[in-house]
């Protein structure tokens, strides 16, 4: 068996192991998520430089040890958000990498996830509507992992949906419910406006690149954010610290925009 293997990858997580070493988690194009030890990376003159920082896209050579993988060589392709100039976008980037980290299985190759994360990070760098982009990213991840809800026909009676102003969406059973099948007082059912429903179908149908810099009605987008969050909390356990971070940043931005400008 060849003990050396190489691939392109994106660093998802990097944690301190001891005074000189780190454990890094990298989503690779060819092998899926790989956890490996990077020896001496915390020393000032490390051969790895900054190549193993979070959100770095790199070429990487691993050595398969007896019990764990070891990083052997690295070469940076691109560092995403190295300076955190835009904290909000940086927060979305961290959130996307956390999602991939938590929603993927180790050494289970999935090039579609790799390409999705890579495309997302590239588009995010100059996207004017990052909130729409991250929502699209989340639904693409759900799509890849087989968690898409039924949006064409009622999940109970299977009749195709008629055009409505509002639709009933069952978060737990995962799909739309026609007015006849809707049980009143069901806490798992939420109403979704026609606009938000069409927006959701659209982002599922098109490639991520088509949502780049797209303008949509803020109200519809806010509605989508709420639905996505509730849907994901039922189906995917993603405990994310960066969400708290983003909430804090958003609050800070709001507060600073309310403050009088200093001339």
Interaction site with Zn ion (CB under 5 A): 154, 156-157, 178, 181
Minimum distance from CB of 184 to Zn ion (Å)? 14
178: closest CA among 195, 164, 194? 164
- CB nearer to Zn ion: pick between 3 and 158: 158
Least distance in angstroms from the C-beta of 102 to Zn ion: 34
Q: Which residues of 155-186 are buried (b: 16+ CB within 10 A; e: fewer)?
A: bbeeeebeeeeebbbbbebbbbbbeeebeeee
Cβ at position 200, least distance to Zn ion in Å: 19
Smallest separation (angstroms) from Zn ion to the CB of 154: 3
Direct distance between the N- and C-terminal alpha carbons of the chain, in angstroms, rounded to an integer: 68
Q: Which is nearer to Zn ion, 146 or 160 (CB)?
A: 160
Residue 155 Cβ vs Zn ion, minimum distance, rounded to whole Å: 8
Say which residue the tokens 């055009």 belong to.
Answer: 163
- 157 or 252: CB nearest Zn ion: 157
CB-CB neighbours of 28 under 10 Å: 22
Return the number of the residue (165 or 215) whose C-beta is nearest Zn ion: 165
- Give the Cα separation of 230 and 252 in Å (integer): 24
Answer yes or no: are the C-beta atoms of 144 and 137 closer than 8 Å.
no
Compute the distance between CA of residue 147 and CA of residue 140 in angstroms, rounded to an integer.
10
Residue whose CB is less far from Zn ion, 31 or 167? 167
């Amino acid at each position: 068996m060849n003990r050396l293997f190489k691939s392109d990858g994106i660093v998802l997580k990097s944690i301190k192991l001891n005074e000189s070493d780190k454990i890094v988690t990298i989503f690779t194009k060819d092998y899926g998520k790989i956890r490996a030890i990077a020896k001496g990376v915390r020393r000032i003159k490390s051969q790895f430089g900054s190549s193993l920082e979070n959100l770095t896209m790199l070429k990487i050579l691993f050595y398969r040890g007896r019990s764990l993988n070891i990083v052997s060589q690295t070469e940076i392709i691109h560092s995403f958000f190295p300076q955190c100039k835009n904290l909000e976008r940086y927060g979305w980037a961290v959130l996307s990498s956390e999602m991939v980290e938590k929603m993927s299985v180790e050494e289970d190759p999935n090039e579609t996830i790799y390409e999705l994360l890579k495309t997302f990070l590239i588009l995010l760098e100059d996207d004017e509507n990052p909130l729409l982009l991250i929502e699209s990213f989340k639904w693409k991840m759900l799509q890849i992992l087989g968690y898409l809800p039924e949006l064409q026909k009622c999940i109970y009676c299977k009749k195709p949906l008629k055009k409505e102003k509002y639709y009933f969406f069952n978060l737990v059973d995962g799909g739309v419910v026609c007015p006849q099948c809707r049980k009143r007082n069901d806490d798992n059912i939420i109403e979704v406006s026609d606009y938000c429903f069409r927006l959701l179908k659209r982002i599922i149908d098109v490639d991520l690149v088509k949502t780049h810099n797209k303008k949509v009605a803020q109200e519809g987008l806010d509605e989508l954010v709420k639905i996505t969050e509730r849907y994901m909390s039922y189906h995917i356990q993603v405990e994310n610290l960066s969400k708290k971070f983003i909430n804090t940043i958003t609050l800070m931005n709001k507060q600073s925009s309310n403050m009088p400008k200093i001339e």
